């Protein structure tokens, strides 16, 4: 398939591009590089031995989206582009709604105008709000806890309405749980700006001596060891989930599907696993809970297997080992051009 990938220079997008190329798909990536790196796509090309057409541009630019879809003969879109820092969404909701919601509307209008009606959308487990039951199934009630989550919910609603209005659209909304890890080559991975807010990149920087200690947000949750539990997913498993989802769109239909492993690990499980693979101590201190955090959140991933034949295959040690390799080889992320 010829696929337009929005946000393909980002963390999940770059890994997905590599898997798509390996399966013989042809790619055009559009990214405004507000959080992505052109170098990531250069490395994807070198790893795959295949070319990627990269266009610097914004999904809000409908004329650009239209011309890309038309001129490149795209048959489907995988839509990663979006802002994702929850804290920024609270302080600057306008930017989030404009970028994520308006950007998606402009992309969908361009798709309609070009008669390209297959789309895979990056949603998030955040749309479930505080879990009412575990594991989370796709029929769990939806509720946003912050403006970032609201943008994901609004886009999901829009896509549901679009499909109801015209069932010639084929839509997959993928609700990711916690993506971690990196490609096994150590050449592409997550390159967070500033101090990481997510657990795994923070642990990796502590292991590498760039940060003194991990602060564990809360040790009194009703979990095995009192620390928060999450469903961590190897990013390459997620990437393979996108390949399976886009190929399944050939048959049409609309789906809302969890991409998770179904297994929950606590923060202390993550610390111990990372210590094991890195051979480095991870000093930590247990502090107050982080406001808004759930004690536990993990997926029922069975629908993804039914719909797309996809299941996560990589375990916790592999997630940590690959994340650690990326961190060691690229301590300055993509700014370290020697890697
Ligand atoms: P990322 O920030 O690494 O990638 C997003 C990419 O989109 C970046 O390359 C950025 O430059 C680009 N972008 C943003 N706005 C754009 C615009 N208006 N026009 C063109 N390009 C634009 O993030 P990621 O972790 O790879 O996440 C990809 C998608 O998955 C996002 O939509 C995110 O909300 C969603 N998601 C991520 C997680 C996670 O924990 N990483 C969890 C659930 C959902
Ligand atoms: N944690 C710490 N210390 C840290 C960072 C995190 O103890 O420095 C703990 C958190 O309290 C939580 C767990 O590690 O228990 C995971 O936290 P993350 O911030 O890595 O991930 P979240 O589950 O909070 O959220 C992530 C994304 C959201 C997304 C959600 C579900 O940041 O945007 O996964 O996909 F919605």
Alpha carbon of 221 to ligand 2 centroid (Å): 14
**Nearest CA owner, ligand 2 atom 29:** 126
pLDDT in the model for residue 193: 83
pLDDT in the model for residue 194: 86
Longest CA–CA separation in the chain, Å: 56
Please count the residues of the chain. 339
- pLDDT tens for the chain, 339 residues: list them: 999 999 999 999 999 999 999 999 999 999 999 999 999 999 999 999 999 999 999 999 999 999 999 999 999 999 999 999 999 999 999 999 999 999 999 999 999 999 999 999 999 999 999 999 999 999 999 999 999 999 999 999 999 999 999 999 999 999 999 999 999 999 999 998 889 999 999 999 999 999 999 999 999 999 999 999 999 999 999 999 999 999 999 999 999 999 999 999 999 999 999 999 999 999 999 999 999 899 999 999 999 999 999 999 999 999 999 999 999 999 999 986 544
Alpha carbon of 229 to ligand 2 centroid (Å): 9
User: Active-site residues: which are they?
Assistant: 148
Q: Is 81 left (phi over 0), alpha (psi -120 to 50) or beta?
A: beta
pTM: 0.97
**Nearest CA owner, ligand 1 atom 34:** 84
Alpha carbon of 293 to ligand 2 centroid (Å): 8
Q: Which residues pair with 124 in a beta bridge?
A: 176
What is the atom index within ligand 1 of the atom nearest the CA of 35? 11
Residue 125 in contact with residue 175, Cβ under 8 Å?
yes
pLDDT in the model for residue 339: 45
Q: Which residues pair with 259 in a beta bridge?
A: 176
Residue 85 structure tokens: 């820092």
CA angle 18, 23, 24 (to 5 degrees): 100
* CA separation, residue 222 to residues 183, 228, 292, 300, 339 (Å): 34, 9, 16, 20, 42
Q: What is the DSSP letter of 230?
A: E
pLDDT in the model for residue 218: 97
pLDDT in the model for residue 192: 86
Q: Which residues, judged by CB distance below 6 Å to any ligand atom, belong to the binding site of ligand 1?
A: 6-7, 9-13, 30-36, 58-60, 80-84, 99, 103, 122, 124, 176, 179
Residue 107 in contact with residue 64, Cβ under 8 Å?
no
């Amino acid at each position: 398939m010829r696929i337009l990938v929005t946000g393909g220079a980002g963390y999940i997008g770059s890994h997905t591009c590599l898997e798509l190329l390996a399966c013989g798909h042809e790619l055009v990536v559009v990214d405004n590089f507000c959080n992505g790196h052109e170098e990531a796509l250069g490395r994807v090309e070198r790893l795959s031995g295949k070319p990627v057409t990269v266009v610097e541009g914004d999904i809000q630019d409908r004329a650009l989206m239209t011309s890309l879809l038309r001129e490149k003969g795209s048959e489907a879109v995988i839509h990663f582009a979006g802002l994702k820092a929850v804290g920024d969404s609270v302080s600057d909701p306008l930017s989030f709604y404009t970028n994520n919601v308006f950007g998606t509307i402009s992309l969908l209008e361009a798709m309609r105008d070009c008669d390209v009606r297959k789309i895979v959308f990056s949603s998030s487990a955040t749309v479930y709000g505080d879990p009412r039951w575990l594991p989370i199934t796709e029929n769990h009630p939806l509720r946003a806890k912050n403006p970032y989550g609201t943008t994901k919910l609004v886009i999901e609603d829009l896509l549901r309405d679009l499909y109801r209005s015209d069932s010639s659209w084929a839509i997959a909304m993928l609700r990711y749980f916690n993506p971690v890890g990196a490609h096994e080559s150590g050449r592409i991975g997550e390159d967070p700006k500033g101090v990481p807010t997510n657990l795994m990149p923070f642990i990796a920087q502590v292991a590498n001596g760039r940060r003194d200690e991990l602060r564990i947000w809360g040790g009194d949750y009703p979990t095995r060891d009192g620390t928060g539990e999450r469903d961590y997913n190897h990013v390459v498993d997620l990437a393979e989930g996108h390949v399976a989802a886009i190929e399944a769109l050939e048959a049409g239909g609309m789906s809302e599907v969890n991409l998770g492993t179904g297994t929950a690990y606590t923060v202390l499980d993550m610390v111990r696993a990372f210590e094991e693979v890195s051979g480095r101590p991870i000093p930590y201190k247990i502090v107050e809970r982080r406001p808004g955090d759930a004690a536990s959140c993990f997926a029922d991933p069975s629908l993804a297997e039914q719909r797309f034949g996809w299941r996560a295959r990589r375990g916790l040690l592999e997630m940590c080992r690959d994340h650690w390799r990326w961190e060691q080889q690229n301590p300055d992320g993509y700014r370290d051009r020697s890697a």
